[in-house]
Amino acid sequence: MKEFTEAERHFIGLLHDTINRMANNSANCKNWFMAVVAAIIAYVANNPESADVLWVLLFIDLLFYGLDSYYLQLEKNFRDIECNFVQAVKDDSTEDGTMVDTLLYNFNYNIVKNGGTKKEKNICKALKSPSTWLFYSSFFILIIIVYCCIVDFNIINWIASLNDSCSCCQCCK
C-alpha cells in the first residue's frame, strides 16, 4: 500500500476540519433555532394579544430546516471528496501521481456542490435525514399547538382563573 505524502495528509486534515466545521454549523442551527423559539414563546406567553407572532416562527422553522439541511449536504459532499481522494491515492500506482495531483490541486467549487466526482445530489438525503426532519417537524407541531392553546383556548387566562379559585389555602389569594 502506498504511503501518504505530507501534502496528501495535510489535504485530508483540511477536509476533516471542513467536515467538522459543517457539522458544527448544523448543530449551531439547531441551537440558534431553539433559542429563537424559546424567546418568542416566552414573549407571547407574557403578551397573549401578540400571539400572531408565532406564525413567524413557522417561517423561521422552515428557514432553519433548509439551512441545517444545506450544511448536512455540504458535510456529506466533503466526506465523498475525502473518500474519492483516499481511493485515488490507493489506486494511483504511477510515479507522477496525475490523478492524485488533479484531486489535490483542483479548487473547483462544482466538485463540492456535486459531492466529489459523483453527480448525486445529497440535499434530498439531508432533507429526509431524521436529524433534521424529526427535529424541525416536532417544533413545527409544537408551535401550532402553542398557538392554539394561547389563542383558541386562551389557556393563560384559564390557568390564572385556577389560581383565583383555589380554596385550599390562603397562599394563592
Helix, strand and coil content of the chain, in percent to the nearest 5, comes to: 80, 0, 20
pLDDT in tens, 28-70: 999 999 999 999 988 988 888 888 888 999 999 999 999 999 9
Residue indicated by cell numbers 417561517:
59
pLDDT computed for residue 119 by the predictor: 40
Average pLDDT over residues 75-97: 75
CA dihedral 10, 11, 12, 16 (to 10 degrees): 100
This prediction has a pTM of: 0.73
Share of the chain above pLDDT 90, in %: 30
Provide the terminal-to-terminal Cα distance of the chain, rounded to the nearest Å. 81
Greater confidence, 150 or 104?
150
Q: How confident is the model at residue 23 (pLDDT cuts 50, 70, 90)?
A: very high
For all residues of the chain together, what is the average pLDDT? 79
Greater confidence, 30 or 99?
30
- CA of 49: how far to CAs of 46, 66, 158, 170, in Å? 9, 30, 15, 30
Collapsing DSSP to helix, strand or coil, 105 comes out as coil
* Three cell numbers, residue 84: 474519492
**Phi, then psi, of 59 in degrees rounded to 5:** -65, -45
